[in-house]
Amino acid sequence: MPCGGGSSASGRDGPTTVPEKVTVVSIRMLGKYRVDATINRQNLIQRVHTWVPDPVLGDMNYEHEFANENYADLGGGIRFPTVWHHHEGWDDNFGALNISAGHNAFGGPLKDIRANACPEVAVPAAVRAAEFPVVVASERLAPGVYLVGGGTHNSVAVEFDKFIAVVEAPLDEKRSLAVIEEVVRLIPDKPIRYVVNTHQHFDHAGGLRTYMHIGATIITHFKNFEFYNRDVLNYAPRTLAPDMVSLWPPTELTEGYQYELVRENYTLTSGSRTMHISYVHPLAHVEGMLMAYVPGEKIAIEADLPAETLRAQVQRMGWDVKTVVPIHGKPRSF
């Protein structure tokens, strides 16, 4: 239901020294999304805000903001914003690791603004009825090493003497649960003790909460710890799309037992198998990138690395790589 209220706000119009009374109109969309529009004293929309579910951040801030000087007069009493700023998360200057917090997801100037000039666009029936089931397909790369793919992102399961390590927990809980079921089928009667997180981009970290909930320790670069510990693996309620951690939070969630932090190099070993995990630098794509190497099988596992960066990292580490297994794409010879 629409409602009004007053509050202090400065928004994108710049800092103010005198509190400004604004009107906030709220409506509920699609049965669960509360959308708030802030209208300033010039009767212009200053901010449109809602919350959307995100596998990494949970109930995530999602908003557009507009400045008075960017409104165009279209005639007939109609004014429309020609420049807008959109961001997901909060403008809290914590965006060094969180790729969306405070960052422009889209927006910018609109040069050609006309009233009611939008052509009618018909949405094909096939698009309206489209479904996106989780598809999991596994491939044996070597004895005890499996690629678990079937979608846009792969995971790699590596069997050790007494446990399993999974490299990468991408996308979300639904995907991760399906991958976990396949790993348990491929390697029965062993726990998934570790999950290796290559980097903190949201599509590569969306399943970390799921693996933590089943008892896996997260191996990640130390620069990711503050972000993960503060914003991802926490007790914050997730009301729009609850996951297992929000519904049944383990007592260890804030006790710090769920991380192994890598600065330069880290090694997992059990029985006859070893896996090396190393920091990749320098890298413009992201800070805190890790890759894995299974020396017995001469397999390197990487995510989002340019070919020249991958080759330089392999040479720097002195690895004898025969096969490269990407998180995106198919295994290939090195």
Give the percent of the chain with pLDDT over 90: 71
Q: Tell me what pLDDT residue 253 has.
A: 85
Q: Tell me what pLDDT residue 105 has.
A: 67
For residues 105-138, one letter each, b for 16 or more C-beta atoms within 10 angstroms of the residue's C-beta and e for the rest, the string is eeeeeeeebeeeeeeeeeeeeeeeeeeeeeebeb
Topology of domain 137-333, per CATH? Answer: Metallo-beta-lactamase; Chain A (3.60.15)
**283-331 pLDDT, tens per residue?**
888 889 999 999 999 999 999 999 999 999 999 999 999 999 999 999 9
Distance CA 54, CA 35 (A): 17
- Given a cut of 50, the residues of the chain with pLDDT beneath it are 1-13, 93, 99-103
Contact assessment for residue 292 and residue 301, using Cβ atoms and an 8 Å cutoff: yes
Q: Tell me what pLDDT residue 100 has.
A: 41
18, β-bridge pairs: none
**pTM (two decimals):** 0.88
Q: Tell me what pLDDT residue 9 has.
A: 40
Q: Where are the domains of the chain?
A: 11-109, 137-333
Q: Tell me what pLDDT residue 104 has.
A: 54
280, β-bridge pairs: 289
105 Cβ partners below 8 Å, 6+ apart?
86, 87, 88
68 Cβ partners below 8 Å, 6+ apart?
13, 40, 42, 44, 46
Q: Tell me what pLDDT residue 111 has.
A: 85
Q: Tell me what pLDDT residue 93 has.
A: 47
**87-129 pLDDT, tens per residue?**
887 765 455 555 444 445 677 888 888 888 888 889 999 999 9
